[in-house]
């Protein structure tokens, strides 16, 4: 009984699936997608059409098809034992607070305008990749002259690339130290079709431009972290977390360790009439990283977090949690009070409840997370 429980718990934790690989190749080559709808559920094969139906019903899942084989080949890595001091109370107020004042929502709004002017940022569309290139080009300019910062396109098996910006550790001895990661997804979707208009201003244009602005502020300041720091803009989040899974599985295959991951997906909306708070997601996240995010909000933001849950595979933090890495997710509202216009042509900055004053508070937490964990 005990042994059974331990085995079951391990399977739960590692998201182990028991689809035979021979069967996998045959079905994948027929164009079927392998989806996992819960950690305690066996993955299921769905047609592309059935998959889109699930998306329309807002049912969360990992689309395992692109990463299944490599994931199966990986030995489980022992989860990084994060030193208890890693998430001690924030202590760099003197350095961080002046940087927070440099965040610039007018600059963010200009970038968001460009991102929302693409017809959509769907992962198979030319415009989806043009949007990724816009981010890469813009961030390259922001960090030009800073040799310790690199900007790379991460290629996938589909059209849209993800973007990885890395601040190397000041001392080369720390090159392979656990990396701190902040993520947003840069794709957008209209539930109706791959070609329909999807400005995706809030989802997740807001998170995307928040990260760009934090990179701008840190690069301009000449910030050189003690341990590596990365900013990720994921492709193909909306269709089963494809981009972030590709990257998280690669990091695990390469034996990389992660100090903490923070997802920044939808920060621009606060429900008119409701109390203005941040929704700190407590399911499929790491308690220590999440507690630290709550402390960062208290220290660096005008508004506080309240605990919420968002369900299975609801954003890219799930891809990191799935691989055993410690991740957190700070969301625009308690789940359910969030922007009702996402995944439609009306997800724009003109939507009622859209607020840069709200969004910038999340950028402050992101900047605090980056600085406090890597300085």
Ligand X SMILES: *[C@@H]1O[C@H](CO)[C@@H](O)[C@H](O)[C@H]1NC(C)=O
The residues annotated with a catalytic role in the active site are 185, 203, 237-238, 265, 343
Enumerate the H helices of the chain as residue ranges. Answer: 2-14, 21-29, 48-56, 68-73, 93-100, 105-117, 126-142, 207-221, 242-253, 287-300, 317-322, 356-374
Q: How far is the CB of 111 from ligand X (least distance, A)?
A: 24
Chain centroid to Cα 269, Å, comes to: 18
CA distance 346 to 197: 9
Per CB under 5 A, the segment of 38-46, 198-206, 301-309, 355-363 that binds Zn ion is 198-206
Q: Which residues contact 97 (CB under 8 A, 6 or more apart)?
A: 300
Q: From Zn ion, ligand X, none, which one binds at residue 204 (CB under 5 to 8 Å depending on kind)?
A: Zn ion
What number of other Cβ atoms are within 10 A of residue 308's Cβ?
21
Q: From ligand X, Zn ion, none, which one binds at residue 99 (CB under 5 to 8 Å depending on kind)?
A: none
Give me the half-sphere count of Cα atoms (radius 13 Å) on the Cβ side of residue 241: 31
As a whole number of angstroms, the longest Cα–Cα distance in the chain is: 60
- Of the two residues 111 and 269, which places its CB atom closer to ligand X in the complex? 269
Using CB under 5 A, count the residues that bind Zn ion.
3
Q: From ligand X, Zn ion, none, which one binds at residue 265 (CB under 5 to 8 Å depending on kind)?
A: Zn ion
Q: From Zn ion, ligand X, none, which one binds at residue 346 (CB under 5 to 8 Å depending on kind)?
A: ligand X
SS3 269: strand
Q: How far is the CB of 131 from ligand X (least distance, A)?
A: 21
Helix 93-100 × helix 356-374 angle, to 10°: 150
Q: From ligand X, Zn ion, none, which one binds at residue 139 (CB under 5 to 8 Å depending on kind)?
A: none
Q: From ligand X, Zn ion, none, which one binds at residue 202 (CB under 5 to 8 Å depending on kind)?
A: none
Q: From ligand X, Zn ion, none, which one binds at residue 344 (CB under 5 to 8 Å depending on kind)?
A: ligand X
- Of the two residues 143 and 186, which places its CB atom closer to Zn ion in the complex? 186
| 188 touches 122 (CB < 8 A) | yes
Q: How far is the CB of 200 from ligand X (least distance, A)?
A: 13
CA distance 248 to 253: 9
CA distance 259 to 120: 33
Q: How far is the CB of 341 from ligand X (least distance, A)?
A: 6
- Of the two residues 71 and 204, which places its CB atom closer to Zn ion in the complex? 204
Q: Does 203 bind Zn ion (CB under 5 A)?
A: yes
- Of the two residues 202 and 246, which places its CB atom closer to ligand X in the complex? 202
Q: Does 187 bind Zn ion (CB under 5 A)?
A: no
- Of the two residues 182 and 341, which places its CB atom closer to ligand X in the complex? 341
What mask, x for binding Zn ion by CB under 5 A, covers residues 246 to 285? -------------------x--------------------
Enumerate the H helices of 101-235 as residue ranges. Answer: 105-117, 126-142, 207-221
Q: Which residues contact 165 (CB under 8 A, 6 or more apart)?
A: 139, 143, 149, 150, 151, 152, 215, 230, 231, 232
Chain centroid to Cα 369, Å, comes to: 14
Residues in contact with ligand X by CB under 6 A are 341, 344, 346
Q: How far is the CB of 3 from Zn ion (least distance, A)?
A: 40
Q: How far is the CB of 353 from ligand X (least distance, A)?
A: 13
* Strand ranges of the sheet holding 62-63, from the earlier edge strand across to the other edge: 44-46, 33-36, 62-63
Q: Does 168 bind Zn ion (CB under 5 A)?
A: no
- Of the two residues 309 and 346, which places its CB atom closer to ligand X in the complex? 346
Contact with Zn ion (CB under 5 A) among 71, 168, 187, 204: 204
- Of the two residues 38 and 191, which places its CB atom closer to ligand X in the complex? 191
Q: How far is the CB of 237 from Zn ion (least distance, A)?
A: 6
The residues of the shown chain that bind Zn ion, judged by CB under 5 A, are 203-204, 265
């Amino acid at each position: 009984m005990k042994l059974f429980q331990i085995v079951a718990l391990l399977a739960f934790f590692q998201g182990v699936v028991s689809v035979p690989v021979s069967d996998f190749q045959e079905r994948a080559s027929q164009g079927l997608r392998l989806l996992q709808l819960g950690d305690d559920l066996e993955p299921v094969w769905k047609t592309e059409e059935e998959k889109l139906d699930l998306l329309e019903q807002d049912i969360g899942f990992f689309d395992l098809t692109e990463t299944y084989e490599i994931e199966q080949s990986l030995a489980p890595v022992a989860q990084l034992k994060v030193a208890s001091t890693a998430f001690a109370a924030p202590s760099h107020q003197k350095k961080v607070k002046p940087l927070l004042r440099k965040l610039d929502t007018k600059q963010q709004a200009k970038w968001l305008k460009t991102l929302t002017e693409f017809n959509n940022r769907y992962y198979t569309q030319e415009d989806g990749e043009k949007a990724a290139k816009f981010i890469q080009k813009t961030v390259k300019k922001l960090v030009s002259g800073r040799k310790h910062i690199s900007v790379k396109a991460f290629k996938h098996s589909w059209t849209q690339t993800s973007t990885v910006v890395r601040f190397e550790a000041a001392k080369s001895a720390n090159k392979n130290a656990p990396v701190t990661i902040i993520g947003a997804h840069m794709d957008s979707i209209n539930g109706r079709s791959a070609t329909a208009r999807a400005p995706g201003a809030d989802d997740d244009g807001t998170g995307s431009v928040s990260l760009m602005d934090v990179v701008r502020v840190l690069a301009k300041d000449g910030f050189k972290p003690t341990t590596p720091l990365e900013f990720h803009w994921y492709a193909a989040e909306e269709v089963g977390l494809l981009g972030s899974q590709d990257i998280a599985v690669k990091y695990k295959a390469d034996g990389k360790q992660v100090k903490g991951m923070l997802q920044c997906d939808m920060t621009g909306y606060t429900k008119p009439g409701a109390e203005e708070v941040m929704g700190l997601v407590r399911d499929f996240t790491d308690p220590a990283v999440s507690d630290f995010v709550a402390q960062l909000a208290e220290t660096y933001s005008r508004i506080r977090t309240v605990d919420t849950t968002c369900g299975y595979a609801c954003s890219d933090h799930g891809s990191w949690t799935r691989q055993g890495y410690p991740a957190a997710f700070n969301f625009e509202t308690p789940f359910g009070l969030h922007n009702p216009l996402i995944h439609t042509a009306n997800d724009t900055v003109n939507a009622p409840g859209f607020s840069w004053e709200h969004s910038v508070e999340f950028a402050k937490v992101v900047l605090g997370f980056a600085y406090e964990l890597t300085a």
